[in-house]
Structures are given as C-alpha cells and as structure tokens.
Chains A and B, each alone.
Chain A
Amino acid sequence: MNLSLQDPFAVAKEYPETLTHKLQYGHSVVIQFNHKGDYLASGLSDGSVIIYDLTCNAGVITILQHQGHVRPICSISWSKCGRYLLTASQDWSCKLWDLNKVNRQEEEEFEDPPVIRSIKFDGPIWSATLHPENHFLFTASLFDDDPVLVDMSTKAIQIHKLSTIPLQLQHQDESTSADGAKELKSVKKSDKQMTLVTTFSPNNGAYIFAGTSKGWLNIISTETRRTVHSIHIANSNIKNLVISPNGRKLAINSSDRIIRQVSLPDLINISDPSEWDFEVEHKYQDVVNRLQWNSVAFNHNAEFLIASTFGQSSQDIYMWETSLGSLIKILEGSSEELIDVKWNSHRCTIGSTGLDSGTIYLWSIQFPQKWSALAPDFVEIEENIEYEEKEDEFDIIDEVALNRKRLEEEDAIVDITTTETVDARGFDTTMDSFIIPINYELPLTFIDKIT
C-alpha cells in the first residue's frame, strides 16, 4: 500500500540501480529469497543458515544451527508456502527444515528439532532443489554420480536415481548392445559424463532439467523418472541452469564463458516431448575480457538477466535485456568478487554474496523523500512561476454554509471492505506466506553476537 503513495517514477523502475545495504553476519556463501520476497536465507561457510527479515531492513529472524550442517552450505531452496527450507551442504547431506519449529525454548527444540528430514549421500552434492508444489520432493545433482529424485514424504526416504545419459545416446546403447558388450563399454567410456545441475520446471514441477559435463541438457519427467528429451547445447560443463519464474526462458551458464538464453516451449500444453523445440535466442559473453560467469538469475517476467563475473579484477553484476540481448546496466559498489546472485522481484532487489568477506550486498530502489508530503498545501515545482491570485482567494466565506455544503456532498458510497489484489508493481498481494515465529523471551545478549 505504501507503493501507491510513493513517487510513481521510482515505483515503475524495473530494476534496482544503487547498492543500498550490506548484511554481514558470518561468511555467507549462498543466498536465496523466499517466494514472497520478505525473507532472505543466507548459507554460511560454517554450515549454519541465517534468515533475515527484509521488511524495514530489520535484522536476523533466526539462525538454523541445531542439528544443522557442519561444512559450508552449497544450496538453499524455499518451499512455495515459505514454511520449509531445504539446505544442501559440503558435509554430503541435505536437510529439510520446518521453520514453524524454530525460535523456541532450547528444551523444546531438542525434543522436536526443526530439522524434519535429513539425508546423507555417499559423496558431495552440487545442488539440491525443492519441487515447487511438494515440499517433500527434491532433486539433487551429486558429484561423480547420477542425479537423484528424493521422496521424503515418509520417514523412510526413497531415493530414485535418474539417468545422466542423453536420450539419443540411450538409443545408441540399445542398438550397439546387439553387437557385443565390449564395443558398448568403449562407447560408454568415451562418452562418460556427469550431471552437474538439476532443477524443476516452474509452476507445476512436472519436469526436471539436468545439465551435464558434456553440455547436454536432459529433461526428465518427474512422474515416470524417465528422460523424455535431450539436446546438446554446449561443448563444455553446464555450470548453472536457471529457469525464469514465469517459465518462459532458460539460461544456461557453461564453462565456455557463454550464457545461452533459451526460449522454452510450452511444456504443459505440448504433451509430446519430441515436438519440443529449444531455440537459443541469445548468447551472452564478454568478448573483450573473456570473463567466466559465476552465477545467473532472471527477474520475474524474464525481461532481464543478471550474472556475476568470475575473477578478482571484476566486481560487478552484468544485466542484459533479454528480448534484444543488449547489456543495459552494470551494478557496481562491492569491493570484491561476487559469487551467488539472486533477484527478488517483489521488492525489486538484487542480492549477491562477496567471495572474500562473505558480505551480502543488496541493490534496491531508493525512493526520494518529498518534502511537500509534509505540508499538504505546498507543491514541488520545477522552476519559479509567477503566482496568480485566485479570484476568490481572500473572500470571506460563510463557514456554516460551507460546512453544510461539504456535508451534503458526502453522498458517495465508500467501500471499506474490498481489498486490492495487486500492488502498484502488479504483484499479487493476496498470496499467503508463512510467518516465521519469534521467541520474544530470548535474552538480549543473544543479539550481541550479531552486532
């Protein structure tokens, strides 16, 4: 509601331009905004997870430590409702947190810990992503192993292995198997590849997108767990796969220093996977410096794409406009290399983590203070104007008559109950999001550790 009273030009801005905040508590390595954009989870190098409340730039809401990770966090994923958080760490484990169980007395947390599921893998995890609708389902890419789909709905956790081999090569295998096992082995060995990243398609999560070390993109059905479509996008490692929140575009960051922007087909209405067409719309690269990209992110409607740059010499975030593929903005202000980058559309904020200090940098829109807001009968004007006295300016008005007239004019119907469903930026305001409980009785000394 505050937006409708702010400067409309500032509200209409589509991307932030100024570095406004730095959050510094521990060494942050990965960040993630919740879907409503009012909380920020930050994974630290010591394995704990901090959740910040972004309203009013207030501080830390909770620290997830108890029964938590012991090695650096490598990925964080929020459930759509905002109540559950999936974290993956370099200690080879994934944990699902129920945020309704945080901030209680120590004894309570001991008996009924906020970690409701915990899975230990046989090796390191690249990343883990929660299903958009089912917070008990997640996919993870593992080091030197096939990707997995994990069902945690019961305490007996089911881990399903997914295939790394692209669909086309799978068929080859079948045909060559008739010729003899020896030949098959050699084919397989030369083509040995690993899945490095996995993510769900947005909205219904019907498909898993997986990127391999040989530049293949595999699309796997979540329901049947079979590869339904594969394409060869690049010739090197796929480092990041990011699908825009509206499901229209996919960004593939690979180690050949190119970010490929792919227009996604309508995965829901075109049911035959063989009819899907993946067209590379743009290739983003820094031709002069040949920069590698650390990570990429879209805004909510895929109009903009941002990427953080690799290397100590560059400390910027590049922003492209996706329809024409032109570079429109370089976000500056940090004094170190930036690693993770995330876009919070609801608040029009971009967040990023610094490599050396672990500081979280936030770029957002600053609203100018209008002094005329303090005096209702003053207006801000661009230049001096000659004041013209109104004809009735110093007339003596009969106040009784004026008041009667005012009262008579008050005949409009006022609707005091119907609420607006969208805010001034066009976002749904009716969306319910979980509110993390607070322990009001926590002694103030707890905070001394933070400040």
Chain B
Amino acid sequence: MEEPPLKIQKKEDSNDKGNIGSVLRDLFTEKYSITPQHGVGINTVKFSPDGKRLLTCSSDGRIEVYNVDDGKLLTTLRGHLKGVSDVTFSPIDYNIIASCSDDLTVRLWSISKGKCVKVLRKHTYHVTNVKFSRKGNILITASADETITIWDIMSGVSLKTLAAHSDPISSIALSPDSTLIASGSYDGLMRLFDLESGHCLKTLSFNTSSGTATASTTDVLNSPISHVEFSPNGKYILSSSLDGYLRLWDYMDNKVMKTYSGPKEDDSKVSTSHCCGSKFITRSSSPLIISGSEKSGLLFWDVQTKEIVSQIKKTDTTILDVDVYDGGSLVAYCTIDGVISLLDMNTSFKDAI
C-alpha cells in the first residue's frame, strides 16, 4: 500500500481568519488509504469499541471488516440486496454487528462466522440508521418511512415505534447513558425521545425567520437535519443541517450555543446536499469537532472559538462519514467515491494523560 503525501490545503486568502488550516496543520498524519472498489460510495465507517477493527458499508450492499493496524481486509459480509446505509458494532460483543439497508431490513451479523444471524423486518422504506443501546440488548433504527423503531434483540420483536417526524429521518444519536434518543429529520426538526417510555420529550428547530417554528406551517422553511451527535457528556447535541452549518445545541435550554461554518472559499457551507458525519475529538489539548464535508475535505473546528483549525483535503470529493477512536487518537473517514482513510493524531497534540 502506497502512502500518498498528505496535502493540507493552506488558505492564503486575506480574510480575517488568514491563518486557518495552519494552526494545527500537523494534527494528523495519514496512516493509509484504501479503495476497495472505485466509485462505489462508502456510507459509514466505524471503529470497533476496542479500536482493532474498522467496519464499513457501501452502496452496493457489501459490509467489510478491516484490521485497523494495517488496513487488511478481514471479512466481507454479503446478504443485503441494496445499499447499506449504516453499520455498528455491538458494545458488548465485538464479534457482532448490526446493519441497516435500503432493502428495508435490519440484520445482525457474526463476523467470525461471516454470516447473518438475524433479520429484523418492519420498516416500510429505506432504513437509514442503526444504534445499539449501552447494554447491547436493544437496537434502535431510524428509517425514511418517518419512524424510529426500538427492537428487543433477544426476542426479535419491535418494542415500540416512534412516529413523530413528518419526513425521512436521516440520523439518530443515543445519549451516553442510553436513556435519550435524539433524531434529526428532513422535516427540519430534532426530537428527543425517552427510550423507556417512547415519549417525545422535546423538539428543537432552527429557523431563520421569527415566525412559528412548527413544521405544520408552510411559511417557515426549516432546513433538513442531516446528522445529529451527542457531546461526550451528553449535555449538548451537535446537528448538521443542509443549510450548510453545524450547530451545537444546549437542548435543556433550547438554545444554539455555537454555529460552525465551512471555509470561506466554499461559500462557508459544509454540506447542502449530502449527510456528512461528525464527531467530537477530546484527546487534543482543547476539544475539537470533526466533520466530513461536501467539497472541503475533512474539517476540524475548535469547539470554543468556532474557527477551522485544520483541514485535510486530498480531492474535491464528498466525505460521507468519520469516526474517532479513543477521543480522536485515531480518525477514519470514507468518501462517496469509495476511499477509506485512516489518520493518526500526532503525539505532540495529545493531551497529556
């Protein structure tokens, strides 16, 4: 595997943030890049909880498991008839993964056996997101059929269906204690559900005009939410919306605490048409937010100052998902044209522990 030199785009335009991209330019070094099949988009990339495996799923229905150390392909899991939107490791058994697909099914797989061990059917349209609860016995799936379903894995029955959104649900997140589900939908709303009771506890929406924010009214346009993520302590929610910005919400207060925008030369937008994943990095001396973008590569913001402190851009392609291990010691991302890359945080930037 060749190691292409990493280009960190330096911005020399004379704006007020003239030195962005160079503040932490050596933050990460690329370990390797893999292109399993050029042109077949990789939708999700996930580290196993022990940081040894890398899990990817692609638009042609394949799920692949790689060795993190050297990028070697360990297993390919086939079975989904259409593209796979999301995959995730079980938090208690790293041999088990769950996947969801456009073929309307949710599947559980055993990596060592290389086969599907359970198929869950109930959704009536593309399943977009899948998450395990902390104890690994409950599965939560979000779908373009506008519902979220909570499954009991042992019995394979759906415990609850949460139907409150009025457009496809693009993303769900679970609070660290697995009691809250945050969902983001194309109807522009983020809702918080109680996993236990299935009740909607809160609705968050951001709209530019001062009028009513409910989706039912037509005079206000809410930009679709493309990704939601809980902060490591569960007190804030990071949302990406297709108006091109990332927002950090204090959901107790219904307030946007920070807004993160893309680089100036890309019209300050992160993404307006693709759902790009985002994550928090806590191993660096000050916490960062990392997100994929439509054409600006991988972006890193300082949580407090909202400035882009680093950018990694090799091509103009869209980065669909990122994942971090150990608070950001390792970062993996995947692109729409089928490239998976692994980055290593340079030790000099790691917070001394």
Which residues of A does B touch, CB under 8 Å? 1-6, 38, 53, 55-61, 367, 369-370, 373-378, 395, 397, 399, 402-403, 406-407, 410, 412-420, 429, 435-438, 440-442, 444, 447, 450-451
Which residues of B does A touch, CB under 8 Å? 90, 92-93, 96, 108, 110, 113, 117-118, 133-138, 150, 152-156, 159-160, 164, 175-180, 191-192, 194-197, 199-205, 208-210, 212-214, 231-236, 248, 250-252, 254, 256-259, 280, 282, 287, 303-304, 306
What's the minimum C-beta distance from B147 to chain A, rounded to whole angstroms? 15
What's the minimum C-beta distance from A263 to chain B, rounded to whole angstroms? 35
State A66–B25 Cα separation when bound (angstroms). Answer: 59
Q: Is the CB of B110 within 8 A of A441?
A: yes
What's the minimum C-beta distance from A76 to chain B, rounded to whole angstroms? 20
Asked if A418 meets B233 with Cβ closer than 8 Å, knowing A57-B159, A429-B177, A444-B118, the reply is: yes
Top 7 nearest A-B pairs by Cβ distance? A416-B231, A2-B179, A5-B201, A447-B155, A419-B233, A2-B194, A58-B152
Q: Is the CB of B137 within 8 A of A1?
A: no
State A447–B153 Cα separation when bound (angstroms). Answer: 11
Partner of B155, one of A375, A378, A399, A444: A444
23 A-B pairs, CB-CB below 8 angstroms? A1-B175, A1-B176, A2-B175, A2-B179, A5-B252, A55-B196, A58-B159, A367-B194, A367-B199, A375-B214, A377-B212, A378-B214, A399-B208, A410-B256, A410-B258, A414-B250, A415-B235, A416-B280, A417-B233, A435-B135, A438-B90, A438-B92, A440-B117
Residues in chain A near residue B236, CB distance under 8 A? 414, 416
Residues in chain A near residue B252, CB distance under 8 A? 4-5
Q: Is the CB of B210 within 8 A of A397?
A: yes
Q: Is the CB of A374 within 8 A of B196?
A: no
Dominant secondary structure of chain B at its interface with chain A: loop
Q: Is the CB of A1 within 8 A of B214?
A: no
What's the minimum C-beta distance from B184 to chain A, rounded to whole angstroms? 14
State A418–B235 Cα separation when bound (angstroms). Answer: 9
Partner of B153, one of A403, A418, A440, A451: A440
State A435–B164 Cα separation when bound (angstroms). Answer: 31
Residues in chain A near residue B199, CB distance under 8 A? 367, 369-370, 373
State A379–B236 Cα separation when bound (angstroms). Answer: 23
Beyond the given A58-B152, A429-B177, A440-B93, could you list 8 further A-B residue pairs with CB under 8 A, ordered by the A residue number?
A5-B180, A56-B138, A56-B152, A58-B154, A370-B201, A375-B203, A375-B214, A440-B90
Q: Is the CB of A414 within 8 A of B202?
A: no
Asked if A2 meets B195 with Cβ closer than 8 Å, knowing A58-B154, A450-B155, the reply is: yes
Q: Is the CB of B259 within 8 A of A407?
A: yes
Closest residue of chain B to A397, judged by CB?
Answer: B210
State A429–B208 Cα separation when bound (angstroms). Answer: 38
Partner of B306, one of A1, A410, A420, A440: A410
Residues in chain B near residue A59, CB distance under 8 A? 152, 154-155
